[in-house]
Chains A and B, each alone.
Chain A
């Protein structure tokens, strides 16, 4: 077993600002030499969706869910002041001014730093999200996979 400390984050939310917080913490913890895992469940899975319209075999309900949910990190809404999509544009322009990294870049950086990105298979089934709709380089698991990491986590967060 590795001697590094562990940081475990459950990303339940599907909003841009919350995903940003999760990924900033993940990257910071990786810089602390922690073994970092982000467990994406429910709406948090949308941060991992590819920004393309794929047409995997789906039921009627799954198709509706698929259309209603955002495709990927850069299309996530804000948790506050979304203003029908104007809010995210505003925050992104402010972020650019302050040199803050967009969430999609933070995800790439996390992968580069060997952060484990776990996708919850149970909620993928509920929301009708197929593996081919999610980005490459993910691991798939359930509560046990999360607990295995979380039980000796120095930092455990639910976002």
Chain B
């Protein structure tokens, strides 16, 4: 998977991961992948809901040592 941009939102609390993701997605082209790293446990459902409703696609997620990584394909 080719990643166009990585956003480090680790340590940030709600609503920052989603606010930053929104800003970051504006910097990538349609079809490109944005990687988002977050430690806020709420980010898991937040990112899923946000990608769904804003027309992007959550391609993959993983969790490692308390860090959630999301791969968002811009719609």
Of B11, B12, B19, B54, which one neighbours A27 at CB under 8 angstroms?
B19
Residues of B within 8 A of A27 (CB): 15, 19
A109 interface contact, C-beta 8 A:
yes
B11, B12, B15: most-surrounded residue (chain A CB, <10 A): B15
* Total number of residue pairs linking A and B with CB closer than 8 Å: 33
Q: Is the CB of A30 within 8 A of B54?
A: no
Whether B22 lies near A31 (C-beta < 8 A) is: yes
A9 CB to closest chain B CB (Å) equals 13
Q: Is residue B13 within 8 Å, beta carbon to beta carbon, of the partner chain?
A: yes
Q: Are A31 and B13 in contact (CB under 8 A)?
A: no
Among A31, A98, A99, A100, contact of B19 (Cβ-Cβ < 8 Å): A31
User: Which partner residue on chain B sits nearest A25 by CB separation?
Assistant: B15
CA distance A99 to B10 in the complex (A): 10
A residues in contact with B13, CB < 8 Å: 98-101
For residues 11 through 39 of chain A, which have their beta carbon under 8 Å from a beta carbon of chain B? 24, 27-28, 30-33
Q: Complex: how many Å from CA A32 to CA B18?
A: 9
The CA of A102 and the CA of B20, in the complex, are separated in Å by 17
Q: How far is the CB of A34 from chain B (nearest CB, A)?
A: 10
Report the nearest A residue to B10, measured CB to CB: A99
Residues of chain A lying within 8 A (CB to CB) of residue B37: none
Q: Using an 8 Å CB-CB cutoff, how does the interface string of B16-29 with A read, 1 for contact, 0 for none?
A: 10110110000000
A30 partner residues in chain B, CB cutoff 8 A: 19, 22
A interface vs B, CB < 8 Å?
Answer: 24, 27-28, 30-33, 98-101, 109, 113
- Interface residues of chain B, those whose CB is within 8 Å of chain A, are 11-16, 18-19, 21-22, 50, 53-54
A-B contact pairs, 6 of them (CB 8 A): A24-B15, A32-B22, A32-B50, A99-B11, A99-B13, A100-B14
